[in-house]
Amino acid sequence: MEKTDAREEKILVLVRLRPPNQKEIAANEPTEDWECLNDTTILYRRNTLRQSSNFPSAYSFDRVYGGECPTRHVYENGTKDIALSVVKGINCSIFAYGQTSSGKTYTMSAITEFAVADIFDYIFQHEERAFSVKFSAIEIYNEAIRDLLSSDGTSLRLRDDPEKGTVVEKATEETLRDWNHLKDLLSVCEAQRKIGETSLNERSSRSHQIIKLTVESSAREFLDKENSTTLMASVNFIDLAGSERASPAMSAGARLKEGCHINRSLLTLGTVIRKLSKGRQGHINFRDSKLTRILQPCLGGNSRTAIICTLSPARSHVELTRNTLLFACCAKEVTTKARINVVMSDKALLKQLQRELARLETELRTPATPASKCDCAMTVRKKNLHIQKMEKEMAELREERDLAQSRLEDIMRMVELDEASKCGTPQHIDKWEDGSVSQTSGVIDLERNFISDGMSITRASSHSEDDDDEELPTRSEDPSEEYCREVQCIEIEESATVNHKDEKRAEPKNILGPSEDASVGQNVRLRSWNRRETAPGTSTPPENLGTGRPEEESHKNKKIVFSGLELGSSVSRNDSLSSCGSDSTETQSSRTPLGEEGGITSIRTFVDGLKEMAKRQGQVSITDDDSGKMGRDIGLVIMDMEFERQRREIVELWQTCNVSLAHRTYFYLLFKGDDEADSIYIGVELRRLLFMKARFSQGNQTLEGGETLTLASSRKALHGERMMLSKLVGKRFSGEERRRIYHKFGIAVKSKRRRLQLVNELWSNPKDMSQVVESADVVAKLVRFAEQGRAMKEMFGLAFTPPSFLTAQRSRSWRKSIPTLF
Ligand SMILES: Nc1ncnc2c1ncn2[C@@H]1O[C@H](COP(=O)(O)OP(=O)(O)OP(=O)(O)O)[C@@H](O)[C@H]1O
């Protein structure tokens, strides 16, 4: 992709106040507190003198639209210019942000259609260029990415691409044919998108939706010519899910979990925007949620961006409306740097590189005259540095030129083969398919697809899957993704074992260098990705782990790192995993099965060991169906084991830190690992507890949910909570149930103060998992988990800290927040 000059501009922020809805009118809800003073200012009319010191009365933005303003006007007057940038090769994004029921979907669905209609108009009016428009759509639901054009429901993964940034892998892309095709695709998305009824919106979007149009165009007169270039850009239409409060909008179960995820990702978005608005100093936590990872370019990168902040006029929503305006105020300070994205054909690129090389060579050969004698030494030093720099640049350019040259040759060969195959000489194609030239087959396939799409061959198209995967070693912050990658390591090892006899067919390729430990894990991963990407039927010969020469075997032992679970294992040339010694940070439960001398002697032994361990832990059974399935099963076992290990560690830390029993119960029952995102919550809780434990052990206090805690005060609070729970035992359980529970906890039914004995037993033995499960069950009934759970999850989702009432401290907020809890 050729880099053109970037244009810096602020995000365009539009505010749209919706008219009162039927419900609000029927309930006589006051809806006139907000007034659009003019095109750019919105006023809150009820600010008292005291409030105005905290909240402004008037807010100004690029544009402000009142309740009567039609969406067509919002589009024409606000977002059209940005949306149409895409046809000129400039990325752009338009998104709607606001509380639930404020009109995001209402606004975005119309704006998407208006914009695509204008894009089509532009295309029809510019016949001198050949256009292609591709459509894709995804949603982020409960922190998992789903393809809205596919009904299989599998969650898609994110990948870091050096050129394109974060990319959603394998999202379906449809080439748009006409307007009807667009309407069909939009209705597929609408049908697939997660919608649910909440008390504020009958059709509330429970996910963030991103519709993406990628527009490519080339001048027809240069098509297939040497100097052809392509403009390529995307426009994103983003309809975010709405922020919501726990009480009015959520109901129990799925709605609750969704609300928690929605709030959490919006919270990350808000934090990112706030930090960006203050300039780019320090770390910006784009990677804290999938939403911000995907939106990263729109929030400060190569994109023109407009944000439409939608507001509800209802008085009861004033707090969320103010939050939205606060978000909008920060957003208008954020700048992006959009540029025209020009993709050059390989031929054009080659020419440009050759020109550059010639220029540098001439510069090197031409001696420069020093200005004066005294400047001489200085000039020579400078010149030497300059020469060194130029030589380096030349070497790089030569490399690029050679690469481009070889790609060109590949393409030429491919075209020849293609033509030969059309003329009935299939043996050439067979030659490709039997893997004899497998090293370049990935590139060729890509190129061929591109040609057959009727497009010119671009630099981007020649960027092979292998190139993309070079970036993979960048460690993702999403643990589940890491696991998936690592599981593929095992899969490839296994296939290497299975296909060992095939090695003779291809020249062995030394992938593992002799000493770079770190890079080996990357190479192994890289190969596993390559393998996964191989199209069915194109039997790529297995790549070898080393040169194949026995004397080099000892150098080939390399360590593979499993995220959060360093196996201390190594890959050896003879397709086996052998131990390098276990990692010191490993806990008992995460330790991998070792061979006789503490080493994993082969993949088979390793697998057997894992099976054994999984059986012992009674978790997942591994079948011997086939090697691919086994790899995946191992992955599941490892993920489950790691999740379970962290959960156990948390249970122990709860006990050490005297964490409230209600908190333990809610957390334990809400985050069971049945949701991909649970591992994130578990990770955060673990870090919080480790921090708390460290503070306590140093005799320090810590701040939890606004309360200052020490070890002594947490012990006292826990004691108070137990006393309270003991009073509920009689209320919540029948006599028969009580007897059964006493029996389970080994308390004599007739003993004195047996209720107190019972609550003292609850959650008292973190090592006994059956006691943990029983305790969670009893406390859940005591605190009416089923009815109150939704409020808790929201709290966990937003802050990861227990609300103050869960710490059982008799603060005012405790009494006020949840009077019916006990
Ligand atoms: N500007 C408007 N004019 C008329 N009706 C509107 C307007 N904005 C929203 N509405 C109506 O309000 C209701 C809620 O709107 P919408 O579903 O777009 O909200 P939302 O912000 O997307 O909510 P959620 O976040 O829950 O998905 C819908 O019935 C919609 O038709």
- pLDDT bin (cut points 50, 70, 90) of residue 81 is very high
Taking each helix axis from N to C end, the angle separating 479-498 and 517-533, rounded to the nearest 10 degrees, works out to 80
Per-residue model confidence (pLDDT) at position 536: 35
Paired residues of 8 in beta bridges: 337
Residue 410 shares a structural domain with residue 286: no
User: Of 117-121, 364-368, 613-617, 633-637, which gets the smallest average pLDDT?
Assistant: 613-617
Using most ligand atoms within 8 A of CB, pick from 105, 250, 261, 309 the residue to mutate for ligand 1.
105
Residue 129 shares a structural domain with residue 275: yes
Per-residue model confidence (pLDDT) at position 447: 31
| Residue 622 belongs to some domain of the structure | yes
Residue 99 marked as a ligand binder: yes
Rounded to the nearest angstrom, the distance between the alpha carbon of 258 and the centre of ligand 1 is: 19
Tokens 């080996």: give the residue: 520
Q: Whole-angstrom distance between the N-terminal and C-terminal Cα of the chain? A: 63
Residue 287 shares a structural domain with residue 210: yes
Burial class (CB in 10 A: 0-12, 13-18, 19+), 273: buried
| Residue 533 belongs to some domain of the structure | yes
Cα angle: 97, vertex 99, 105; to 5 degrees:
60
Residue 132 marked as a ligand binder: no
| Residue 485 belongs to some domain of the structure | yes
Rounded to the nearest angstrom, the distance between the alpha carbon of 103 and the centre of ligand 1 is: 3
Per-residue model confidence (pLDDT) at position 568: 30
Is the predicted pLDDT of residue 20 greater than 50, yes or no? yes
Supply the DSSP string of 755-771, one letter for each residue: HHHHHHHTT--TT-HHH
| Residues listed for the chain | 822
> Minimal CA–CA distance to 235: which of 95, 47, 31, 441?
95
Q: Residues 481-510: pLDDT tens digits?
A: 332 232 222 233 333 333 333 333 333 333
Using most ligand atoms within 8 A of CB, pick from 15, 16, 18, 198 the residue to mutate for ligand 1.
18
Q: Is 110 in the pocket of ligand 1 (CB under 6 A)?
A: no
Torsion angle (degrees, nearest 10) of CA 418, 419, 421, 424: 170
- Residue 313 is given by DSSP the state -
Quick one: what percent of the chain has pLDDT higher than 70? 60
Burial class (CB in 10 A: 0-12, 13-18, 19+), 165: middle
Residue 308 shares a structural domain with residue 394: no
Secondary structure (3-state) at 423: coil
Contact 231, 123 (CB under 8 A): no
Rounded to the nearest angstrom, the distance between the alpha carbon of 104 and the centre of ligand 1 is: 6
User: What is the rounded average pLDDT for all residues in the chain?
Assistant: 70
Residue 428 shares a structural domain with residue 548: no
Residue 612 shares a structural domain with residue 700: no
Can you read off the two tokens belonging to residue 210? 């991103």
Higher pLDDT, 752 or 456: 752
In three-state form (DSSP H/G/I as H, E/B as E, the rest C), the secondary structure along 578-602 is: EECCCCCCCCHHHCCCCCCCCCCCC
Q: How far is CA 520 from the centre of its chain?
A: 25
Is the predicted pLDDT of residue 54 greater than 70, yes or no? no
- pLDDT bin (cut points 50, 70, 90) of residue 19 is very high
Q: Residues 259-297: pLDDT tens digits?
A: 778 878 888 899 899 999 988 777 888 888 999 999 998
H/E stretch holding 311:
strand 304-311
133 C-beta neighbours (distance < 10 Å), count: 22
Domain final position from 437, 462, 487: 462
| Residue 724 belongs to some domain of the structure | yes
Per-residue model confidence (pLDDT) at position 257: 73
Residue 293 shares a structural domain with residue 312: yes
Q: Which amino acid is at 390?
A: M
Supply the DSSP string of 454-517, one letter for each residue: TPPPBTTTTS-HHHHHTTTTSPPS-HHHHHHHHHHHHHHHHHHHHTGGGGGGS-----S-SS-H
| Residue 568 belongs to some domain of the structure | yes
Residue 105 marked as a ligand binder: yes
H/E stretch holding 694:
helix 678-697
Q: Is 137 in the pocket of ligand 1 (CB under 6 A)?
A: no
Residue 164 shares a structural domain with residue 295: yes
Per DSSP, helices labelled H in 128-202 are 179-192
Longest dimension (CA), the chain: 108
Domain final position from 321, 343, 365: 343
Domain final position from 582, 609, 643: 643
Query: Which numbered atom of ligand 1 lies nearest the CA of 106?
Result: 18
How many CA atoms lie less than 13 Å away from 317 in the CB half-sphere?
A: 28
Q: Is 229 in the pocket of ligand 1 (CB under 6 A)?
A: no
The ipTM (two decimal places) reads: 0.98
Sign of the torsion angle spanned by Cα atoms 57, 61, 65, 71: negative
Q: Which amino acid is at 134?
A: K
Can you read off the two tokens belonging to residue 805? 């009432």
Residue 281 shares a structural domain with residue 302: yes
Contact 561, 476 (CB under 8 A): no
Higher pLDDT, 94 or 801: 94
| Residue 336 belongs to some domain of the structure | yes
Contact 206, 141 (CB under 8 A): yes
> Minimal CA–CA distance to 6: which of 301, 408, 316, 311?
301
Per-residue model confidence (pLDDT) at position 385: 84
Nearest residue by C-alpha to atom 11 in ligand 1: 103
Residue 180 shares a structural domain with residue 43: yes
Is the predicted pLDDT of residue 625 greater than 60, yes or no? no
Q: Residues 294-329: pLDDT tens digits?
A: 999 889 889 999 999 999 999 988 988 999 999 999
Is the predicted pLDDT of residue 537 greater than 50, yes or no? no
- pLDDT bin (cut points 50, 70, 90) of residue 559 is very low
Q: Residues 325-353: pLDDT tens digits?
A: 999 999 999 999 999 998 876 677 777 78
Distance between CA 396 and CA 393 in Å, rounded? Answer: 5
Query: Which numbered atom of ligand 1 lies nearest the CA of 102?
Result: 21
Burial class (CB in 10 A: 0-12, 13-18, 19+), 682: buried
Rounded average pLDDT over 350-378: 71
Distance between CA 326 and CA 271 in Å, rounded? Answer: 12
Residue 104 marked as a ligand binder: yes
Per-residue model confidence (pLDDT) at position 509: 36
Contact 426, 314 (CB under 8 A): no
> Minimal CA–CA distance to 252: which of 665, 793, 790, 818?
790
Residue 333 shares a structural domain with residue 370: no
Cα angle: 111, vertex 301, 98; to 5 degrees:
40
Q: Assign residue 159 the CATH number of its domain.
A: 3.40.850.10
Phi, psi angles (nearest 5°) of residue 176: -70, 130
Contact 338, 91 (CB under 8 A): yes
454 C-beta neighbours (distance < 10 Å), count: 9
Contact 651, 711 (CB under 8 A): no
Per-residue model confidence (pLDDT) at position 121: 94
| Residue 258 belongs to some domain of the structure | yes
Query: Which numbered atom of ligand 1 lies nearest the CA of 198?
Result: 26
Paired residues of 65 in beta bridges: 16
Q: How many domains does the chain have?
A: 4
**pTM of this structure:** 0.50
| Residue 572 belongs to some domain of the structure | yes
Nearest residue by C-alpha to atom 15 in ligand 1: 103
Compute the chain's Rg from CA coordinates.
31
Tokens 């080939």: give the residue: 556
Phi, psi angles (nearest 5°) of residue 677: -80, -10
Contact 397, 352 (CB under 8 A): no
Per-residue model confidence (pLDDT) at position 34: 93
Paired residues of 168 in beta bridges: 158
Residue 625 shares a structural domain with residue 762: no
Can you read off the two tokens belonging to residue 371? 């200005």
Per-residue model confidence (pLDDT) at position 804: 39
Contact 117, 72 (CB under 8 A): no
Query: In which domain, by residue range, is 419 found?
Result: 345-462
User: Of 210-214, 236-240, 682-686, 783-787, which gets the smallest average pLDDT?
Assistant: 783-787
Higher pLDDT, 469 or 137: 137
In whole angstroms, how far apart are CA 474 and each of 162, 478, 481, 488? 11, 12, 12, 16
Residue 270 marked as a ligand binder: no
Tokens 């098509």: give the residue: 223
- pLDDT bin (cut points 50, 70, 90) of residue 165 is confident
